[in-house]
Amino acid sequence: MGLEGVRPDDLLPILAIILVVIVIALGDVFNSLLPSRAIPASEEYTYVSASNPEEPKALPSLGDSPSVELSIIVPAFDETARLKPMIESTLEHLRSLSRHRSFEIIIVDDGSKDDTSGLALKLAISHAKANAKDEIRVVRLRTNRGKGGAVKHGCMHSRGERILFVDADGATRFSDLEALWKKMDELEEKEEGGPCIVIGSRAHLVNSEAVVKRSKIRNFLMKGFHTTLRVLGVGYIGDTQCGFKLFNRPAAQQVFPPLHLPTWIFDVELLLLAQFLRIPVLEIPVHWHEVPGSKLNIAGASLSMLRDLILLRINYLLGRWSPRDFQVD
């Protein structure tokens, strides 16, 4: 028996099945390449601060009612060189506001090999104010989860009405928070208090000296990355990777529990989740400068980026991942 008499149209269902099998197989392959998640240790759900430096206390839950106006999440991995100036500039701005805004800073030490958590606690103690509600909390993860894992952990245990995550290098001018805050006020009024996200953007800096001075390979990879994002469906965002994003609590409660990716590309999944859930996202230009000391390996990061973007697309396409998932942080 041969294929005589078989029309091309008859082969389409078979080819479709083969394609689905290949896609599922690729999903399994890329899932296996994703960094394994260590079982969280009980001490990772505790924090120390100026008021309890020796006796860790239990962290709250994102599901609780808010008790401060702003939570600031700072993921930190081996950041003894850059953390101090970033925290000091943050506090300087927050304490300069004419109308005080109650806040907490949660520094999540992502399994650092240096004394990042020790430095963070010293900062918490040295900058503590008597009888003040504001405080710096220090959370230490036993193993390195990745930036996405550290940010998620901090957000899932924050107390703020609004939650900002910001990079530990201080590359974004912290006072630009006020531009994001104002837009959040406007967006919440429009959405009648519903979930809202406002993100900092460096898209306006594409032809600036700060970007032009970067290496040619780094700029080449950046362009390739944005092309891939357009394929994924989040090309409407000019800058997905700026480490300066503000969520109101209803938005955070929807996008952080189902977050799967623990790697540095997690921002893309957050924005995809917002798109799936019809949560409005506004992009606001911020001041930014490159800070020496980045631990990002360009070659390794490029390969992991490609892996994670494919993984993201395949798993949501096949329904393996869903905006209704709940991933333990």
* Model pLDDT, residue 89: 97
* Model pLDDT, residue 208: 57
Tokens of 329: 């942080």
In order, the DSSP letters of 90-156 are HHHHHTT-SS---EEEEEEEES-SSSHHHHHHHHHHHT--TT-S-EEEEEEESS---HHHHHHHHHH
Burial of 215 (0-12, 13-18, 19+ CB in 10 A): exposed
In 3D space, the residue among 104, 31, 66, 49 whose CA is nearest the CA of residue 310 turns out to be 31
* Model pLDDT, residue 248: 98
- Tell me the mean pLDDT per 10 residues along the chain, length 329: 55 58 58 62 96 97 97 97 97 96 97 97 93 90 95 98 96 96 97 96 69 55 66 76 95 97 92 95 92 67 79 88 86
* Model pLDDT, residue 314: 87
Other beta carbons less than 10 A from residue 36's beta carbon: 7
Q: pLDDT tens digits, residue range 24-34?
A: 556 556 555 55
Number of helices (H) and strands (E), helices first, in the chain? Answer: 10, 9
**Residues 133 and 105: beta-carbon distance below 8 Å:** no
* Model pLDDT, residue 217: 55
The answer to pTM > 0.95 is no
* Model pLDDT, residue 267: 94
Tokens of 134: 């504001």
Q: pLDDT tens digits, residue range 143-167?
A: 999 999 999 999 999 999 999 999 9
Cα 93 from Cα 96, distance rounded (Å): 5
- The proportion of the chain whose per-residue pLDDT surpasses 70, expressed as a percent, equals 76
* Model pLDDT, residue 304: 80
If DSSP states are collapsed to H, E and C, what string results for 289-315?
A: CCCCCCCCCHHHHHHHHHHHHHHHHHH
